[in-house]
Structure 1
Amino acid sequence: MPKVVDSYVLERSIGKGQFGEVFKGYNKQTNVDIAVKCVKRELLKGKFTELLENEIKVLRTCNNDNIIKLYDIKKTANNIYLIMEYCNEGDLSQYIKQKKFLLEEEAVDYLLQILNGFKTLVKNKIMHRDFKLANILKHDGNIKIADFGFSKLLNDNQGLATTMLGSPLNMAPEVLNNQEYDSKADIWSIGTCFYELLFGKSPFTATNMVELLKNIQTKQFVINRKVNNITPTAEDLLRKMLVVNPKNRISWEDLFKHEINFYQEEKLKKDLETTLKGGELMMNMSKFYIKNNMVIDHPAEIKKKEDLNNFAMQVAQKGPQNQQQQYVGPLLKKPQEENNLARQDSAKSVQSTQGPVQDIGNEEVTDKETQREKEIKAKKRNANRILHERNIYVFLASVAEEAMNNMTIQNYDVTGFLLVKKLLQLIDFLKTILQDKQNYYQLEFWEQFTQSKDYKDIHTYISKEFDVFKSYFDSIYEKISIQIQQRPKMDEAIKQAINNNFKQNNQQILVKCLQDYSKLLIETLKKTKPQDQNRQQWIHADRVLDCIRLEETFQFDDRLTNQQFNFKQYYENDNLLEMEALQKKVLQKFEKLR
């Protein structure tokens, strides 16, 4: 029998600390997952009592989408239980070990969520004092700041702290140096975490704290562009956050106003304005949609650009008629900052019960996954599997777009069109199996998954995408059907493949066109010295070759890591290679096909 505390079932132990354990559990009444921090009363003495009280005060005070939530408090004769929000994707320390480093777009997305959480902390005069990747949790693709055990609430007359707390590699130099410090120490810690996300390691390292402080004071951190070619905006922020003297370090006010907070939206805004001003609005909006939705890793990402995507889909399907040709909604849905009324209501709902509440069941909770947890993990893996297939057909769309607009190779728009026809087959197939709830990929707990919100969101999204790409296909066919009449020497089999219904199999013709196109493309590129100005053409050649060996390139194998193919990393790899290495890679792939 599992351990039960009032309405809460403690399924298994997920961590141990000096004051007790953290359990994974769920609420019997709502079936909502929870994390339960169990603190032994006998260990609460002196300073440790103050730290626990501070943690509870912070969690009761803050109501923010990017701060872990405290649902309830239960007190028994021996223990105090903090019933908290459970995060189902671990922490960023684990995540960065898997990924090695993050592309700037993803790292900035996490940073902005972190800054959103700190807006509430700063507003309420709270210092975290132990901010590190291990204390940044992920839940359904979103960030949650956690572990406020070392946090400090500052009153109006108390702006400085002196206690050395935290993790040395993320500690501000003034903390390492035993000086008084204020909340700007958290800015340094955020800067070290942002650096770790971008480059996979701490900005300053050493074998001991004395050496670490010396390195921080005497050495510059390195922006290794061979690892991650970050933008000047990201570099500027790092250089303003990781300043040794806290007086010269960026302030919270300037940090919340820094260009990094807006550059994602500005980029989208410029892309959208260019799209809406250009000719052939329907075609351009389809291109805009492809460019800004290359990879969907998690169902939660569908919601972030939902309004913008719906607008793009409508224009792409219906064309300019009956459209205002302007967009007035949010470019990105943002996590909510603190709402005072919501915070007060939330604080009232955090109960502190003592007396009749008892520990029931087995005190020795195991650390093995329960059947219920296995089902939850399987549902997540199932979502990954379907989104993997979705990302493949959008990859084909991006290659098709480049092929049809490649001005250096004449008359190969046909190859791009056949790729669009192929992707339409893939998306139609995926839409159909989702509509019919067919377990084509032999996934576990499939029936339960089809009842989930994630399944419904993915199915709705892919159905909309089919309509977008079908309109895209129709608009291209209208143009190309006229052009092929002007090419009398075109192979009849290719003409037939163009005119066939998109559901008919044209795989052999497509592969032959891709092979011919890649051969001509590479022969043209070999005549020029590989330089950064023709990098994009070499990358295009690489991806054309990957279209030929599509299944081999994008295999989904989660037996070892439970991770789907990393599409974001795939797109960035060629950008990080030296030109000679990129050329060699492409030529080796090409030789294997001959």
Structure 2
Amino acid sequence: MNPIVGNNVGSDQGAIQAAFPGEYKGFAPIGRGSYAKVYRAEDNYGQTVAIKVIDVRNMQKEIIPYMQNEMKLLSESDNKNVIKLFKSHQSPDKLILVLEYCFLDVEFMVKRYYKGKLPDNLVIIILRQLANGLSYLHKNKIIHRDLKLENFAVQLTVEDQDALQKRNDLTVFERATYKLIDLGLAKKLGDLTAQTSTWAGTELNMAPEILNEEKYSFQADMYSLGVCLYYMVAGKYPYFDPTNRTPLQDLIKQENADLNLIPNIQLRSLIQKMLKFNPKQRLTFQELYQHEFLKYREGDLMNPLDLELDSNQVIYSQRIEDSTFEDVRTEQQLIQQYTTNQYRIDQQQTFEKKSDVKQDFSSSQQQQYCNFVQPDTEIQQYPIISSEYKNVFPNNTYDPIKKQNDQIMQLYHIKNQYAAIMKLADYLEQIIPIVKGTKLDFFTMESKFNMYIEYLRMVSKQLYLKLKQRFQFYQPSLGSFDRYQLLEKQVKQEDQIKFDNIKIKEGDSSGMISWFNKKVFKSIKCEPHDSLNFNQQYQQNNIELYKELLKMLQDTFYKYQDDSDPKLKRIKCLLYLSMINTARSRVLFQVELQNVDYKAEELLLTKARDEPDTLSEKVTSILAQYNLNYD
């Protein structure tokens, strides 16, 4: 029996209903702490939330400031990678927080689904999101002070929850959103150079300067982040003496963690720098943002996180002042300026339809996220709540019409479409000169590949124009205005240069034999970008191109007995890279939008771009993952 189930369920539910009459239903207990109980519930729009009920009567007075601290910070949070507080309510008996619902935490994910260790690519995905969440806190001069795996929540879509439970599909974790939770020990400082001395956190994850009761600053978060990354990769803490004979401070000072447990050299080097005993020698957040894991390379596929990480660098490159972000227009102003009543009505109807969808989880599957309180040393930041309770914190109302990232992902999806197609055209262009004069060359090879290149670039430009048109005005359902603004800047300024010299032709092309030999290439018709014919045409041409590449790849094995020739190896790599992007672009035309962080995949492709066998495995995995058939 779930330990939370008992006589208090009814009273907690009654308290929630009294605080928010008729707003929530379908209560299910999902976890508990010393003073807090957490329930999963559903609002009137079908949105699942986590409701945290804190019993004030049985709580030590010293812990109440932590609750106040958490409520205040979460109510101000506005970042995809920091848990959101939708509503709050205070009474003499209880504090009630309505929070984003997350399916589980990283600690449970590591132990339950990965047997204690995560693959490198997933660690990089999690690192990028945690860095973004921390940057948001640091921008607001907040140090977290309790970074640990159980304080990293994992948010999955309903579809991915179902895929995980029914098929044990672990790829859902590559699409998940990772959020910092439990800001009970977080503290606001004057700026990024300010220090504090409060002993706070979880010992095995604490920075040595906190353990030694010295003054510390934001570099303490860096150390704790390093401990978390080490644990995710190695399956254990970097410094831990089960006999308790050696103090943790002394173990940390020796800096002799077994780094050989981290196979990825780049990740190993990064973690080693994070775990430096001396904060002055430790990796800084500015240096972290210069690392390849976080930097976006031109031409890579991307998601909203890439541009956000890129913009975060300003946080660590200069001293943060209150005025730094004051000149940015607020999202509310933009909503008032651009939103029409009809748009809201349409969106409302959409969400009402969604509200009919229910989640049905068995009790054995309810090992969920619980934003537990960490009662530690007293902090003097906030006064203890008086006997006259007042709801002094913002009562943030969740607006389903402004659901974050769902529609802005469509913009990134279009950008990824033309990025993959442009990259494919570039690879084909590299193939032509290296194949000419070899055993793989044939009479119409150059003209045929040039025609594919021309076609691909025209399709890319058509998609680019489609995306550019979407920036006519901002709508609240697009999500974060910061992300919208960053993407608009890249599309209209940086990407514009790539497409200036590309002309879109229509009708028959003449003078190239291969053009007439291929039925699907008798005409290039870049029809209206949302037309079914346009998508079908690309799917058909994509299949034809893949077959051409596959035939040439097969010829590399049939026509060459000795495969040690470096030139042949390069040809194979280019063919595989072309096939990868051919499959990628086809996937981007036919699958539903997913919150995929392509960075880890791009890093692996960059590392393997000269290894034909590795690239071959990547082609196979894409075909299998998306059930692509090129017969």
What TM-score do you get using the length of structure 1 for normalisation? 0.57
Match of 1:222 among 259, 268, 283: 259
1:37, distance to aligned residue in structure 2 (A)? 3.6
Match of 1:239 among 263, 272, 281: 272
**Where do residues 109-258 of structure 1 align in structure 2 (5 Å cutoff)?**
109-110=128-129, 112-116=131-135, 119=138, 128=145, 130-137=146-153, 145-150=180-185, 159=197, 161=199, 166=202, 168=204, 170-172=205-207, 180=213, 183=216, 186-195=221-230, 199=233, 201-202=235-236, 204=238, 208=242, 210=244, 219-222=256-259, 228=264, 230=266, 237-243=270-276, 246=277, 248-250=278-280, 255-256=284-285, 258=286
Structure 1 residues 566 and 529 mapped into 2: Cα distance closer, same or farther (>3 Å)? farther
- Report the residue type matching 1:255 in the other structure: T
* Structure 1 match to 2:434: 408
Matched, 1:4 2:20: no
| Larger CA deviation: 111-120 vs 207-216 | 207-216
Structure 1 residues 55 and 567 mapped into 2: Cα distance closer, same or farther (>3 Å)? same
C-alpha distance in 2 between matches for 1:65 and 1:431: 27
* Structure 2 match to 1:261: 289
* Structure 1 match to 2:525: 501
C-alpha distance in 2 between matches for 1:468 and 1:506: 25
- Report the residue type matching 1:579 in the other structure: E
Matched, 1:394 2:419: yes
C-alpha distance in 2 between matches for 1:378 and 1:157: 37
* Structure 1 match to 2:54: 39
1:506, distance to aligned residue in structure 2 (A)? 7.0
- Report the residue type matching 1:545 in the other structure: M
1:493, distance to aligned residue in structure 2 (A)? 3.5
1:65 touches 1:337 (CA, 8 Å); kept in 2?
no
1:429, distance to aligned residue in structure 2 (A)? 9.3
What secondary structure is seen at the aligned counterpart in 2 of 1:113?
helix
1:102, distance to aligned residue in structure 2 (A)? 4.0
Q: Which structure 2 segments of 5+ residues have no match?
A: 1-12, 157-175, 327-382, 392-397, 437-445, 528-533, 624-628
Match of 2:95 among 74, 77, 80: 80
1:75 touches 1:354 (CA, 8 Å); kept in 2?
no
C-alpha distance in 2 between matches for 1:555 and 1:196: 38
1:19, distance to aligned residue in structure 2 (A)? 0.5
Matched, 1:22 2:38: yes
Matched, 1:542 2:567: no
- Report the residue type matching 2:17 in the other structure: V
Query: Deviation per CA, 1:2-58, whole angstroms, max 9, x where unpaired?
Result: 723545855545542111213567999x9999865422133213xxx3233145247
* Structure 2 match to 1:308: none
* Structure 1 match to 2:160: none
**Where do residues 304-453 of structure 1 align in structure 2 (5 Å cutoff)?**
339=322, 391-406=416-431, 407-410=433-436, 411=446, 412-421=449-458, 452-453=477-478
What secondary structure is seen at the aligned counterpart in 2 of 1:403?
helix
Query: Deviation per CA, 1:240-283, whole angstroms, max 9, x where unpaired?
Result: 3313xx4x34368x724x43234579967xx8xxxxxxxxxxxx
Structure 1 residues 541 and 353 mapped into 2: Cα distance closer, same or farther (>3 Å)? farther
1:384, distance to aligned residue in structure 2 (A)? 6.2
- Report the residue type matching 1:239 in the other structure: Q
Query: Deviation per CA, 1:204-253, whole angstroms, max 9, x where unpaired?
Result: 38794749969865843326775x452xxx6555323313xx4x34368x
Query: Deviation per CA, 1:317-357, whole angstroms, max 9, x where unpaired?
Result: xxxxxxxxxxxxx79786996749999xxxxxx99796698
Q: Which structure 1 segments of 5+ residues have no match?
A: 272-287, 306-329, 344-349, 359-371, 436-449
Structure 1 residues 466 and 413 mapped into 2: Cα distance closer, same or farther (>3 Å)? farther
- Report the residue type matching 1:250 in the other structure: K
- Report the residue type matching 2:68 in the other structure: I
What secondary structure is seen at the aligned counterpart in 2 of 1:39?
strand
Query: Deviation per CA, 1:64-96, whole angstroms, max 9, x where unpaired?
Result: 766667788644342234x47647687555787
* Structure 2 match to 1:56: 68
* Structure 2 match to 1:519: 551
C-alpha distance in 1 between matches for 2:514 and 2:325: 67
What secondary structure is seen at the aligned counterpart in 2 of 1:189?
helix
1:402, distance to aligned residue in structure 2 (A)? 1.8
Structure 1 residues 94 and 265 mapped into 2: Cα distance closer, same or farther (>3 Å)? closer
C-alpha distance in 2 between matches for 1:584 and 1:573: 13
Structure 1 residues 137 and 480 mapped into 2: Cα distance closer, same or farther (>3 Å)? same
* Structure 2 match to 1:579: 611
1:541, distance to aligned residue in structure 2 (A)? 2.1
1:200, distance to aligned residue in structure 2 (A)? 7.3
C-alpha distance in 1 between matches for 2:135 and 2:615: 42
What secondary structure is seen at the aligned counterpart in 2 of 1:42?
coil
CA RMSD across the alignment: 6.4
1:171 touches 1:189 (CA, 8 Å); kept in 2?
yes
* Count of equivalent residues: 483
Percent of residue pairs identical: 16
C-alpha distance in 1 between matches for 2:195 and 2:131: 30
1:417, distance to aligned residue in structure 2 (A)? 2.6
1:101 touches 1:200 (CA, 8 Å); kept in 2?
no
C-alpha distance in 2 between matches for 1:209 and 1:380: 48
What secondary structure is seen at the aligned counterpart in 1 of 2:38?
strand
1:74 touches 1:354 (CA, 8 Å); kept in 2?
no
Structure 1 residues 120 and 79 mapped into 2: Cα distance closer, same or farther (>3 Å)? same
1:114, distance to aligned residue in structure 2 (A)? 5.0
Structure 1 residues 225 and 497 mapped into 2: Cα distance closer, same or farther (>3 Å)? farther
2:151 touches 2:180 (CA, 8 Å); kept in 1?
yes
- Report the residue type matching 2:202 in the other structure: G
Structure 1 residues 383 and 537 mapped into 2: Cα distance closer, same or farther (>3 Å)? farther
Match of 2:564 among 506, 529, 533: 529
Match of 1:475 among 492, 495, 501: 501
1:112, distance to aligned residue in structure 2 (A)? 3.9
| Larger CA deviation: 409-418 vs 8-17 | 8-17
- Report the residue type matching 1:500 in the other structure: I
Structure 1 residues 38 and 341 mapped into 2: Cα distance closer, same or farther (>3 Å)? farther
C-alpha distance in 2 between matches for 1:537 and 1:593: 21
C-alpha distance in 1 between matches for 2:58 and 2:603: 50
What secondary structure is seen at the aligned counterpart in 1 of 2:521?
helix
C-alpha distance in 2 between matches for 1:154 and 1:506: 54
